[in-house]
Amino acid sequence: MQNFLHTFFDPNVMARYLPDVLSGMMVAIWIGAAVVVAGVTAGLALACLRTYRIAICDVFIICFADIFRALPPLVLILLLYFGLPGVGVRLSGPVVLFVVLSLTLAAFAEEIFWAGFSSIEKGQWEAGISTGLGFGGTLVYVALPQAVRLAIPPLVNRVLAITKMTALGSVIGVLEILSAATTAQSFSGSATPLSLAAIAYLVLFLPLVFAARMFERRREQSLGR
């Protein structure tokens, strides 16, 4: 037991590498926040665009959403990071991570918001337009608030799953939590930095998990289960 504690929770090693892990946390928070803002905004914009039912736009949006929901993000990350320099475009690790995760989140968010829009009855659109709101007004004041409310529980889950993927940045040299920890592990010859990384992720993401659960339970109750 003593040995186990020493291997995984050595206080000296923890103190030595805590600053690295903390700066990794800051990187993860920044990239994660940027991904959430960009991904959710783009997803919402695409879902709104889809309500106009322009055939060519719809085909493009559906293909985009399908492809980015079907592809593993790590494949895209390696493709952009190692492939683009061959055609003269060199993107840094954090930029590649941001672009790939934002596109992935946008694809899922579009589907989630669109499911929200689809659940709104046709009569509401007709009523909104007939009161003189116009299509755009009905979209913004009638359909959007309802769609967003329906979208929040699944969206929180998806945001959680995708912001967690900032850990993939370690594969392309982004100095986030996991890469700080694996570097520290090989320098210190101790497993403690890995425990430190796990703790750092729990600190960052457990609050989000609790929030996600709260939204789910509330929805279950409102469905009368």
Partner 1 sequence: MQSLMDQFFNLEIMAKALPLMLSGLWMTAKLCAAVIVLGLGGGLVVALANVSPRRWLRFPSIVFTDIFRALPPLVLLIFIYSGLPFAGIEISPFAAVALAFLLNNSAYYAEVYRAGILSVGKGQWEAARSTGLSQTQTLTSVVLPQAVRNVLPDLLSNTVEVVKLTSLASVVSLSELLYTANMARSITYNASPLVLAALIYLVILWPVVRLVSRFQRRLAA
Q: In the complex, which residues of this chain contact partner 1 (CB under 8 A)?
A: 4, 7-8, 66-67, 69-76, 78-79, 82-83, 86-88, 111, 115, 118-119, 160-161, 164-168, 170-171, 177-178, 181-182, 185, 190-191, 194-195, 197-198, 201-202, 204-206, 208-210, 212-213, 216, 220, 225
In the bound state with partner 1, the residue whose beta carbon lies nearer, of 99 and 133, is 99
Cα-based distances in Å from 95 to 56, 154, 207:
30, 26, 26
C-alpha 92/C-alpha 126 separation (Å) is 49
Alpha-helix runs per DSSP H in 52-191: 55-70, 73-78, 93-118, 122-130, 134-138, 144-163, 177-188
In the bound state with partner 1, the residue whose beta carbon lies nearer, of 57 and 74, is 74
Minimum distance from CB of 134 to partner 1 (Å)?
Answer: 26
Minimum distance from CB of 223 to partner 1 (Å)?
Answer: 9
Minimum distance from CB of 130 to partner 1 (Å)?
Answer: 24
Minimum distance from CB of 142 to partner 1 (Å)?
Answer: 18
Closest to 151 (Cα-Cα) out of 102, 104, 118, 124: 118
Supply 115's token pair: 């499911």
In the bound state with partner 1, the residue whose beta carbon lies nearer, of 89 and 130, is 89
In the bound state with partner 1, the residue whose beta carbon lies nearer, of 41 and 183, is 183
C-alpha 188/C-alpha 203 separation (Å) is 23
Minimum distance from CB of 219 to partner 1 (Å)?
Answer: 10
On whether the CB atoms of residues 193 and 181 are closer than 8 A, the answer is yes
Minimum distance from CB of 186 to partner 1 (Å)?
Answer: 9
Within 10 angstroms of residue 193's Cβ, the number of other Cβ atoms is 28
Within 10 angstroms of residue 22's Cβ, the number of other Cβ atoms is 13
C-alpha 39/C-alpha 52 separation (Å) is 21
In the bound state with partner 1, the residue whose beta carbon lies nearer, of 132 and 224, is 224
In the bound state with partner 1, the residue whose beta carbon lies nearer, of 133 and 171, is 171
